[in-house]
Every structure is written in C-alpha cells, then in structure tokens.
Chains A and B, each alone.
Chain A
Amino acid sequence: MNAVLSISSLCKSFGTVKVADAISFDVPMGQSLGIIGPNGAGKTSLFNLITGTLRADSGSIKYQGIDVSTNNSATRCRAGIARSFQIPQPFTAMSVFENVLVGATQGAGLTQREAETVCLEILTQTGLVSRANDLAGALTLLERKRLELARALAANPKLLLLDEIAGGLTENECQSLVATINDIKSSGITIIWIEHIVHALLAVVDRLIVIDFGQMIADGKPKPIMNSRQVREIYMGLDADA
C-alpha cells in the first residue's frame, strides 16, 4: 500500500529486441533500490518507461497508487519522479545555475525567489557552486554527471532515478558521491540507482534487482544476490568478458 512505485507486467520491444519483458516490482516509500545488469539489458529503457520518455507496449506503472503510464514526462516530473541521464543532457548554452533553476521552477514549481535559494543549496551540496555562472556546455564529463544529479534534486523528487552516475569517477570522488546519495536517502527520498560500480551501489542500497535481456532475473537483499551463481554467471561473466 505504501509503495511509491508499482510496476506490473511491463513490456516494451524495439522491433524484435525486448527491452522490458513482463517486469513487475514494487518500491516501498523510502527504499533505495539498486539495479544491475549487463549493457543493453534494458535498464535505461526501464527508466525511460518509468519517467515517460518511452511509452510501454503493455503493463502498468503506478506512482503513489495512480496509473501514470499515459502521462508525459513533464507531468510525471511535477508529480515527483525525477531522473539523471546516463549520457548527460545539459542545457549547454545555459549556465549551471540556470540548468538547476529549470528543475526548481518547472519541476518543483517554486517561485523565482524560493528557487534561487534552493538552487544555491543544491549546487553547494553537489560541489558545483564554483561553476554556477559557467555555461553547462563547458563542464567536464564528471561535472556534467553532478549537474544531472543537481538538476534532478532541484525538481524536488519523491522518487529519484539515477542512471550510472558513478561511472568514471576516482575512488575519492566515488566515496563523496556515495555520501551525497546517502544524505539524499536519509532525507526520505526513494531512490532507484542503476550502477556498474557495485561497491558504490552496495554502500547505499537496501535491495537489488538484476535485469538481463529485459527480464528480472533476481530481486532481493544485495549481498545474497551478488553471491548467487546466477548473477555471477550472467552478470559478472559478461562483465569480465567486456
């Protein structure tokens, strides 16, 4: 009942490629859920389905008990679903501050005055405040990933979807990111985090789902799942080959 997100029998294909094959799961309020799986498994597509960037072929997506599968991504964002993009999508000709301001004024619906204060806080929290006046197009890949997080936070989400934001970070940066995400988690925001950097993920999440070829092949406590033979074979096996 207190599920923030409730997905049932979700299906989506691109031609013959099934990116979501009868996926069903519930995410209770306040949970941090990790998603792993090989490249091309359909993880990002699942986020696209949840946020409305993609329309499902069949199945339902309920957010706070209401079916949102026909809503567009803007409506879902204003309802409280925000995401970061795996491939950063900055507003390149706008300043970093303005990028975040879009989330605060459009997504969270704050007034200009409130939004300015919130954006400065978020830029400080995500370590971007010194870049506030720079064009987002001038950021490094790492900073662009932080901007993805900052913008999503500015939209004041109840459900935050993070898509591989730890990729390419150094160990120190990774740890500070983990600390930031743990802060977000303790503020009560429900998190779903797709990540290849398993140790970063395990430092945050309460639960793990494994996706392969659009199917959920495991769901449960992170430790046992990481140790299961199935995951080692499918996930680690492919990862080692790559």
Chain B
Amino acid sequence: MSARVTRSSRSSRAFAIIAGCAVVILIAAPWWAGRADMRLFSEIFLYLSLACLWNLLAGYAGLVSVGQQAFVGFGGYVLFGLAIFWGVSPLFALPIIAILGVLVAVPVAALIFRLRGAYFAIGTWVVAEIFRLLASQISALGGGSGTSLPVSVVKSIASSRATRESVVYWTALALAILVIITTVFVLRSRKGLALTAIRDNELAAGSLGVEIWQTKFIVYVLTAGLTSAIGALIFLQKIRITPDAAFSVNDWTAFVIFMVVIGGIGTLEGPIIGTLIFFVLRETLADLGTIYLMILGLVAIAIMLFAPKGVWGYVKSRYGIELFPITHRVKFEEE
C-alpha cells in the first residue's frame, strides 16, 4: 500500500471554477449593474476583505482585536494627507499606505503584545482611540469635523464620474481577491500550518517548534497593512473623512466580528459566508430601522446557540467539504 498527500478536493476544484466565473461576471459589472448596485458590491468587497483579515487575526492567531478601526482610519487619513499635501494620486497611494500600515503596526504590536486576553482587546481599542484623537488634531485635514478630497484629486482618477466609479469598484474587487489569495497562500505555507496549530492549541504548537510570538507578530503587521489599504479605499469611495467615521468601532470592527462569527471563525470560508449573510440581512431588512439591528442580534444569538462554530463550521463538520485547498488529505492506493 502506498500513499500520497493531496490538498485539493472535488469541492475545492468545483469552487475554483465557480469562483473564476463569478470573478469574470463581477469584473464586467460596470456593463450590467447600476450605480447603486456597484456601490453596494464595492462595500461588500471591502467588508469581505476586512472580515477575512480579522478572521486571520482573531480566528487563527488568537489576537482578538477590537481596534482594527485604527488601521482603517489610518489608511483613510493617510490617503487624504498624501493627496491633499503632496498631490499623490489615490490609486498609486494604496501600496504606499499598505507599507505605512505595516510600519505603524510594528511599534503598536510591540506595545500591545505585552497584554493578554481581554487586556489585549482593550489595548487595541485604546490604540484606536488614540489614533482618532491624533487625527482630530490635524487641523489641515479639518480637525474634528474632517475634510473632503479636493475635486482635482478626485478628477485625477478619471475625468468622468462613471469611469471613476468603475475604477473604484474594480480596485475594491482586486483588493478583495488579493486578500483572499494572500490568505490562501499564507494558510497553505509552512507558516500557515504553524498558524493553524496556534489556532487549535498554543501550548502544543510551542512545544512542537512553532514560534508563537513571531508568528502572531507577522500576522498582526500583515493584516494591519492590508487593513490600512482597505481603509484608504473605503474613504476614497466616500470622498469625505471625519475622525468619528474613520475610527468607528461599530462600522469597522463590530459588524466585521458579527460577519466572522456567524460565518464561522477560524475557517477561510466562514468570513466570506458571514459577509454575504450580513449583506442579505441588511439589504432585506434595512427599511425596518432599529428592528433590523435587533434581528441581527437575534441571528447572532441563534447561531451561537445552535451552531457555535458558525454556519460554515456547521456545514464543514456535517459534510466535510472545503472550498479552498488548504487541508492535507492522505490518499491510500492499493498496489
């Protein structure tokens, strides 16, 4: 009997084809979707990216941050700063912002990694609040009341509004694909196996040679960089930024946690499914006003009670399927 190890499965191959078709259809959206739909899709892509990154952070590395709005806001403010002070074109600024996000995350991590558990969570939130206060002190960017992107900068993306909206849409789509592909590559790598081990049992992971601190640090700064780029794109789409909007714990962390938890934390598929569920609920129930928020709460409670590992956790344990080729399967072959 011989054996071989594979990572792709029938479900992951099927999903790759479906996802490929979906991407082609989504790229063509400017030709078949309305303006409002494209704005909605962009928002979904951006939230999808935030959810995947928060899942990597909290679901895998065990870094339960409630302060990712620090990097969303940072990205937004740096975009406005670069554009207003130095006339940097917004799209060109995105990779710069990602790198700056990584650089800012290094000292932040050095500080908050000293904290454990709930203290870590509170620490991340405090850092985000400090970022918000700092942003509100920048009078050239409107201080506490914020500012708008100058028309000239907006026009530099594309002169017509329709093209501009398409460009922002495509960038959001590209960023979501980049985040998902990065996550897949990270999780398939040797470090990804280490990270998955940390997810399941830190004590055992350390005893088997996994550098816990270093692995968490890499995940933290990587997600910070990508989160900053997403933040930049969020506020490029909004064209206006204020400290309260940029560093909103509700918008950039609470909703994201909801998506990841109902979808299934600690799986790659979970945040994707969670984001879709969230937007389906929001789009069908938003007219109900506050009742909508209560329904979100009830959904969260129901999922925690009946499927504590989230929708995908339930599907996975029930049917054993996987959409991305991450886990190893041993195939035994009779000779």
Flag the segment in B83-91, B172-180, B203-211 that touches A.
Answer: B203-211
Q: Which of A35-75 contact B (CB under 8 A)?
A: 51-53, 72-75
Flag the segment in B62-70, B145-153, B190-198, B287-295 that touches A.
Answer: B190-198
Chain A proximity mask over B27-53: 1 for CB below 8 Å, otherwise 0: 000000000000000000000000000
Give the shortest distance, in Å, between A82 (CB) and chain B (any CB): 7
- Across the interface, do B209 and A120 meet the contact criterion of CB distance under 8 Å? no
Does chain B have a CB within 8 A of A24?
Answer: no
The listed residue (A53, A77, A112) touching B190 by CB distance below 8 A is A112
Question: Given A95-B328, A102-B193, A133-B330, are A90 and B209 also a contact pair (CB < 8 Å)?
Answer: no
- Across the interface, do A132 and B330 meet the contact criterion of CB distance under 8 Å? yes
Which residues on B sit within 8 Å (CB–CB) of A83?
207
Flag the segment in A2-10, A103-111, A218-226, A233-241 that touches B.
Answer: A103-111
Closest to A84 in B: B207
Chain B proximity mask over A71-108: 1 for CB below 8 Å, otherwise 0: 01111011000110100011111110110011101111
Q: List 19 A-B contacts (CB under 8 A).
A: A72-B211, A74-B208, A75-B211, A77-B206, A83-B207, A85-B203, A89-B201, A91-B200, A93-B200, A94-B200, A97-B328, A97-B330, A102-B197, A105-B194, A106-B208, A116-B328, A133-B329, A151-B208, A155-B209
Q: Which of B196, B209, B328 has the most CB of A within 10 A?
A: B209
The listed residue (B5, B196, B266) touching A116 by CB distance below 8 A is B5
Which residues on A sit within 8 Å (CB–CB) of B203?
53, 85, 89
Does chain A have a CB within 8 A of B3?
Answer: yes
Question: Given A93-B199, A93-B200, A94-B197, are A74 and B211 also a contact pair (CB < 8 Å)?
Answer: yes
| Separation of A160 and B41 alpha carbons in the complex (Å) | 55
- Across the interface, do A91 and B328 meet the contact criterion of CB distance under 8 Å? no
Which residues on B sit within 8 Å (CB–CB) of A75?
211
Question: Given A53-B206, A77-B209, are A92 and B201 also a contact pair (CB < 8 Å)?
Answer: yes
| Separation of A77 and B327 alpha carbons in the complex (Å) | 24
Which residues on A sit within 8 Å (CB–CB) of B303?
none
Q: Which of A97, A102, A133 has the most CB of B within 10 A?
A: A102
- Across the interface, do B193 and A74 meet the contact criterion of CB distance under 8 Å? no
Which residues on B sit within 8 Å (CB–CB) of A151?
204, 208
Binding site for B on A (CB under 8 A): 51-53, 72-75, 77-78, 82-83, 85, 89-95, 97-98, 101-103, 105-109, 112, 116, 120, 132-133, 151-152, 154-155
Does chain A have a CB within 8 A of B212?
Answer: yes
Which residues on A sit within 8 Å (CB–CB) of B328?
95, 97-98, 101, 116
The listed residue (A93, A108, A120) touching B330 by CB distance below 8 A is A120
Which residues on A sit within 8 Å (CB–CB) of B210?
74, 102, 106
Question: Given A74-B210, A82-B208, A83-B207, are A105 and B190 also a contact pair (CB < 8 Å)?
Answer: yes
Which residues on A sit within 8 Å (CB–CB) of B209?
74, 77-78, 102-103, 106-109, 155
Which residues on B sit within 8 Å (CB–CB) of A133?
329-330
| Separation of A146 and B268 alpha carbons in the complex (Å) | 30
Which residues on B sit within 8 Å (CB–CB) of A89?
201, 203-204, 207
Which residues on A sit within 8 Å (CB–CB) of B200?
90-94
| Separation of A31 and B266 alpha carbons in the complex (Å) | 42
Give the shortest distance, in Å, between B60 (CB) and chain A (any CB): 11
- Across the interface, do A53 and B208 meet the contact criterion of CB distance under 8 Å? no
| Separation of A92 and B194 alpha carbons in the complex (Å) | 14
| Separation of A78 and B208 alpha carbons in the complex (Å) | 8
Chain A proximity mask over B302-335: 1 for CB below 8 Å, otherwise 0: 0000000000000000000000000111100000
- Across the interface, do A51 and B5 meet the contact criterion of CB distance under 8 Å? no
| Separation of A91 and B190 alpha carbons in the complex (Å) | 16
Which residues on A sit within 8 Å (CB–CB) of B211?
72, 74-75
Q: Which of B199-254 contact A (CB under 8 A)?
A: 199-201, 203-213
| Separation of A95 and B204 alpha carbons in the complex (Å) | 15
Give the shortest distance, in Å, between A10 (CB) and chain B (any CB): 19
Give 18 new A-B contacts, CB below 8 A, not counting A74-B211, A94-B327: A51-B207, A72-B211, A74-B208, A74-B210, A74-B212, A75-B211, A82-B207, A85-B207, A95-B328, A98-B328, A101-B193, A102-B209, A105-B190, A106-B208, A107-B208, A116-B328, A120-B330, A151-B208
Question: Given A74-B211, A106-B190, A155-B208, are A95 and B201 also a contact pair (CB < 8 Å)?
Answer: no
| Separation of A73 and B327 alpha carbons in the complex (Å) | 26
For the complex of A and B, 7 pairs with smallest distance between CB atoms: A107-B209, A91-B200, A106-B209, A89-B204, A77-B209, A132-B330, A73-B206
Q: Which of B110-145 contact A (CB under 8 A)?
A: none
| Separation of A132 and B211 alpha carbons in the complex (Å) | 25
Closest to A96 in B: B330
Give the shortest distance, in Å, between A42 (CB) and chain B (any CB): 19
